[in-house]
Amino acid sequence: MTTPPLKILITGGAGFIGSAVVRYLIQRTSASVLNVDKLTYAGNVLNLEEVAHSPRYGFLQADIANGAALAEAFAGFQPTHVLHLAAESHVDRSIDGAADFIHTNIVGTYQLLEAARQYWRQLPQARAEAFRFVHVSTDEVYGELPLDSPQAFTETTPYAPQNPYSASKASADHLVRAWHHTYGLPTIISNCANNYGPYQYPEKLIPLVILNALAGKPLPVYGNGEQVRDWLHVNDHASALYTLLLKGQVGDTYNIGAHNERKNIDVVKRICALLDELQPQSTPYARLITFVEDRPGHDKRYAIDASKISRELGWRPQYSFAAGLRETVKWYTENRHWCEMVG
């Protein structure tokens, strides 16, 4: 008996990570996709031009906090899987105004869980057993690690979020676990490292530095730039999420990372060196580096131990940070039109 093709309802599929997942699914699998996205400032249909005309791709503009719209989407599309990526995700914005983060990340996740539960409950037994709800979260829910420690976040690290964004994501994670343990909804949670790659909205560190440098603007670095982040190429993240859809253990959590810890200042300097090579100017781009006042509650270090997903599910990242960063810098230099349209 052949397994029917996957039908995946994706939330936030017009955003940076979501669009990478949609492109991956349409270009590299036989799955059908319904992309449910509100199209806030960080979501853009331009991110999906490569796959928008596929007969296996559909789009619904809707707020995931709108339960009626979600119920209609489930009833009409009849998904085999849900991949929940919709989220407000920028720490600075959460500090300036947390309301949108509470609305989307907490209330929206609740509404999606309820819509999925009501849909799942009425499925025939075989389809109900095969159904999966994969919730995509962040390593920031774990708080911070000491700069001089060999320790990394594991799936059993206690939660200790320290800003409104990470607190809202931690809340969503707890809701997902509760819906599994209380109602039996077949959920899986992933917690990922910092993502980078093409189509990332220009407010985030790597695209911000690239575009500011090309425009001759200051390259703002918080504090002394010694904060450490673990970097994961978005295409590797997409392949990891597809692995979870197919092989993930219901009720379990998987950390997704690429073991690429770098200081922020070193990432900025490396981008400058790549631009010196790819888009040379009369003076080095590093002259534009400007240290600015640190943001409140800035976590010192994140690091992901991704050994579990590798050991249990066979997933491994394909991008080295050096190759991924070069590709990313090159993409932004060659896609100025996209940057102007979404910025």
Catalytic residue among 57, 142, 165, 302: 165
219, part of any domain: no
- Give me the percent of the chain exceeding a pLDDT of 70: 99
Distance CA 42, CA 200 (A): 9
State the average pLDDT for the chain. Answer: 95
pLDDT tops 90 at residue 165? yes
Catalytic residue among 37, 139, 173, 236: 139
Q: How far is CA 10 from the centre of its chain?
A: 12
151, part of any domain: yes
Distance CA 249, CA 254 (A): 9
228, part of any domain: no
180, part of any domain: yes
291, part of any domain: no
Dihedral-angle region of residue 321 (phi above 0 means left; psi in -120 to 50 means alpha; beta otherwise) = alpha
Confidence of residue 203 (pLDDT cuts 50, 70, 90): confident
> For residue 294, how many C-alpha atoms fall within 13 Å in the half-sphere facing its CB?
11
| Rounded to 5°, angle at Cα 257 from 320 and 146 | 105
| Spatial contact of 13 and 36, defined as CB atoms under 8 Å apart | yes
User: In this structure, what is the dihedral angle of CA atoms 257, 15, 248, 237, given to the nearest 10 degrees?
Assistant: -30
Secondary structure of residue 93 in the 3-state scheme: helix
Burial category of 260 from C-beta neighbours within 10 Å (exposed 0-12, middle 13-18, buried 19 and up): buried
Confidence of residue 244 (pLDDT cuts 50, 70, 90): very high
Q: How far is CA 317 from the centre of its chain?
A: 15
Buried b (16+ CB within 10 A) or exposed e, 234-244: bbbbbbbbbbb
pLDDT at position 185: 98
pLDDT in tens, 260-311: 999 999 999 999 999 999 999 999 999 999 999 988 878 889 999 999 999 9
Find the CATH number of the domain harbouring 173: 3.40.50.720
127, part of any domain: yes
pLDDT in tens, 297-341: 788 899 999 999 999 999 999 999 999 999 999 999 999 889 888
Verify whether residue 119 is a known catalytic residue. no
Verify whether residue 165 is a known catalytic residue. yes
pLDDT tops 60 at residue 2? no
Distance CA 87, CA 321 (A): 25
1, part of any domain: no
185, part of any domain: yes
Verify whether residue 155 is a known catalytic residue. no
Distance CA 303, CA 135 (A): 20
CA gyration radius, the chain: 20
User: What average pLDDT does the segment 221-247 reach?
Assistant: 96
pLDDT tops 50 at residue 1? no
pLDDT at position 82: 98
Question: What are the tokens at 264?
Answer: 């922020």
Give the structural domain span for 42.
7-194+233-259+301-318
| Spatial contact of 144 and 302, defined as CB atoms under 8 Å apart | yes
In which order are the strands placed within the sheet that holds 57-61? 57-61, 32-37, 7-11, 81-84, 132-138, 187-192, 253-256
- Residue 5: phi and psi, rounded to 5, are -60, 150
What's the length of the chain? 343
Domain count, the chain: 1
Rounded to two decimals, the pTM is: 0.96
Question: What are the tokens at 305?
Answer: 């131990």
Confidence of residue 3 (pLDDT cuts 50, 70, 90): low
Question: What are the tokens at 181?
Answer: 């343990």
pLDDT tops 60 at residue 54? yes
pLDDT at position 89: 86
Report which DSSP code applies to 250: T
Catalytic residue among 37, 63, 140, 261: 140
pLDDT in tens, 138-164: 999 999 998 888 889 999 999 999 999
Spatial CA neighbour of 203 closest among 120, 321, 94, 125:
94
pLDDT in tens, 55-96: 999 999 999 999 999 999 999 999 999 999 999 988 889 999
Distance CA 146, CA 226 (A): 12
